[in-house]
Amino acid sequence: MYLLALLTAALAPALALAASRTTAPAGALVVNQSSGPYKTLSAAVAALPDDGSAQTIFMFPGTYTEQVLIDRSGAVTVR
């Protein structure tokens, strides 16, 4: 519970900026519960290459109840 609160607080500025975006940026992995290609954040994280490159995951609105560990060498932006 504490980790979720900390993560939410840390991402709040980025989430506020991305809140108005309605389409995924080019090259982003797209999470959408109703029409994929990834239906969960965990599935998108698992598909990330572990090559040190910066990656973006774009999530459509919804309730995603999962615990996610991002363990890779490159940066990940979740929008």
Q: Residue 1 — very low, low, confident or very high, per pLDDT cuts 50/70/90? A: very low
pLDDT, tens digit (0-9, with 9 covering 90-100), for 58-77 = 999 999 999 988 888 888 88
What is the DSSP secondary-structure string of 4-48? Answer: HHHHHHHHHHHHHHHTT--SPPTT-EEE-TTT-SBSSHHHHHHTS
What are the extents of the domains in the chain? 29-78
- Statement: the pTM of the whole predicted model exceeds 0.75: no
pLDDT value at 18 more than 70: no
- Mean of the pLDDT values across residues 6-21? 53
Percent of the chain whose predicted confidence (pLDDT) is above 90: 43
For 31, the token pair is: 């999470």
